[in-house]
Structure 1
Amino acid sequence: MRSGVSIAIGSLLVASGINMFFVPHHFLDGGMIGIGLLTYYWFGLPPGLTIIVLSVPLYAIAFYKDRSLFYRSVHGLWISSLMIDWLHPLSDRVYLSPLACALLGGATVGIGIGLMLRVGAATGGSDLLAQLLGRGFGFNPGKVIFLFDSLVLLAGLSVIGGEAFLHSLVAISTVGFFTTLLAYPTHNDGFSFR
C-alpha cells in the first residue's frame, strides 16, 4: 500500500513538474524523461509514450536478469509516463521566469523521483539500465545516470538553444539534489547524502 501511494504521488509530482515548469520553457531533464521531452520538442510526439516505447527493451532485459527489479520498477514507468501525457494541458498554466521554473520544476520532479526511488520504483529505462550495469559490472549507478543525463542534455543543445540549455542544467541539478535528499535518508536524524 505504501509503495503504491508513493508511486502515485511521485508520478503526479514528476508529471506536474515536467508540464508546468519544463515544457513552457523547453527545458530538458536527463534520462528517458529528457529523451521524451526532446522528441516532443523536435517531432511533437507525446513524451510519456516515447518513454514507454524506448524503455520496453530495457525492461525486457530486466525481466530476464533481475525479476525483482523489474517488478518494483514497471509500475513507476507506466504510471509516471501516462501522467506526463495526461497532464500536458498544465503546460500553459504557469507564467514564471525561466530561472524560477528551473528551480521549482527541478524540486517538484526531484521530490517525485525521490519518493519513487525510495520504494524501489523508477520512471524510465535509464535508471533501470544504471541499476543493471551496476549489478552486472560493478559500475556506480549514480555515475552511469549522470553520464546518460549529460549525453541527453548535450544532444538537446541544438534543439532547445543555449539559454534553455543553461536553465536545464539548473533544473537537472535541482532534480538531483532533491532526488538524493529523499531517496537516501538516514535512519538517525534528518537526511544525508551517500
Structure 2
Amino acid sequence: MLKKLAIIGFGSTMIGIGINGFILPLHIINGGFLGISLLLKYIWGLKVGITFIFLNIPVYLFAFKSDPGYFTGGVIGALCTGIMIELFRPLNGVFQLTLISTVIIGAVIIGSGVGVMLRYHISPGGMDLLALLIAKWSRVNVGVIMFVMDAVIIITGLFLLQDVKLFYSLVIVAIVGLMASLITTMNIEQNVIK
C-alpha cells in the first residue's frame, strides 16, 4: 500500500508540474480529461484540478461496476492528480523557454507521471482508467488507446478554440502516449523475464 501511495504521489506530482509549468502558460491542451479540463478553463475559467476530479465521477462508477480492482487506484489517482494540479498552480509562467522546448519538456514530465502510474496498474483517473480497462479487454497497448482518444480531444479543441497553436497539443499527446507506452512495455518485459 505504501508503494502504491508513493507511485501515486510521484505520478500526480509530475502531472501537476507538467500541466502548470509547461502546458497552461502556452494556452494549449493535453489529452484525456486533463485536456477537457484545460479546454473548460480556457473557455469558462474553471479550475483545472477541480474540473478534472468531477469529470472522473462517471468513470469511477463505470470502473466500480466493471472492474472494482481498478476503482480504488483510479479514485486515489484522480483525486491526487487534481489536488497536485491545484497545488502547483504557482508554477504557471515560471519557466521561460522556447515554445517547442516547453512543449517537449512538459510532455515528457506528464508522460513520465502517467506512465509510471499505469505501469503499476494505477490510473491517474479519467480516460487513462478507461484506456486501462479497454487495454485489458482488447489486449491493445494502453499507450495506443490513449493516443487515439487524446487525438480526438485535441481536434475538438482546435474546432472550439480555433487557435493554430493547439497543433502543438498533438505533439504533447504523441509524446505522452509514447512515454506511457514505453514505460508500460518495460513493465511487461520485466514480467516476462521474471
Q: How much does 1:99 deviate?
A: 0.4
User: Residue 97 of structure 1 corresponds to which residue in structure 2?
Assistant: 98
CA distance in 1, matches of 2:55, 2:90: 23
Number of equivalent positions: 186
Q: Give CA deviations for 1:48-72 in whole Å, capped at 9, x if unaligned.
A: 1111111101101111221111122
For 1:148, the equivalent position in structure 2 comes to 149
1:111–1:133: structure 2 CA closer, same or farther, 3 Å change rule?
A: closer
2:161 is matched with 159
Percent identity between the two aligned chains: 33
- Distance, in Å, in 2 between the alignment partners of 1:178 and 1:130 is 15
Task: Please list the CA deviations of residues 13-64 of structure 1 after superposition, one character each: whole Å capped at 9, or x if unmatched.
Answer: 1110111000000121111110111111111101111111111011011112
Give the TM-score normalised by the residue count of structure 2.
0.88
Tell me if the contact between 1:102 and 1:171 (Cα under 8 Å) persists in the aligned partners: yes
CA contact (8 A) 1:21 1:102 kept: yes
Distance 1:67 1:51 in 2: 21
User: Whole-Å Cα distance in 2 between the matches of residues 20 and 35 of structure 1?
Assistant: 18
Counterpart Cα distance in 1 of 2:47 and 2:171: 24
- Distance change in 2, residues 1:187/1:144 (3 Å): closer
- 1:60-139 matches, within 5 Å, as 60-135=61-136, 138=138
Q: 1:80 & 1:49 partners in 2: Cα distance?
A: 10
Task: Indicate conservation of the 8 Å contact 2:63/2:71, yes or no.
Answer: yes
The aligned residue for residue 9 of structure 2 is 8
Are the equivalent residues in 2 in contact too, given 1:74–1:121 (CA < 8 A)? no
SS in 2 for 1:122: coil
1:59–1:74 CA contact under 8 A, matched in 2: yes
Which whole-Å CA distance do the structure 2 matches of 1:145 and 1:118 have between them?
Answer: 14
Does the 8 Å contact 1:26/1:160 carry over to 2? no
Alpha carbons 1:73, 1:120 under 8 Å: kept = no
3-state SS of paired residue (1:92): coil
2 CA distance for matches of 1:168 and 1:30? 8
List alignment gaps of at least 5 residues for structure 2.
none
Distance 1:101 1:33 in 2: 18
Q: Secondary structure at the match of 1:27?
A: coil
Q: Is the 8 A contact 2:11 2:114 kept in 1?
A: yes
1:80 and 1:123 in contact (8 A); partners too: yes
Q: What secondary structure does 1:187 align onto?
A: helix
Amino acid at match of 2:36: I
TM-score (norm 1): 0.88
Q: Aligned equivalents of 1:151 and 1:118: distance in 2? A: 24
CA RMSD of aligned residues (A): 1.8
Gaps of 5+ in 1: 189-194
Contact 1:32 1:125 in 2 (8 A): yes
Tell me how far 1:107 sits from its aligned partner. Answer: 0.5
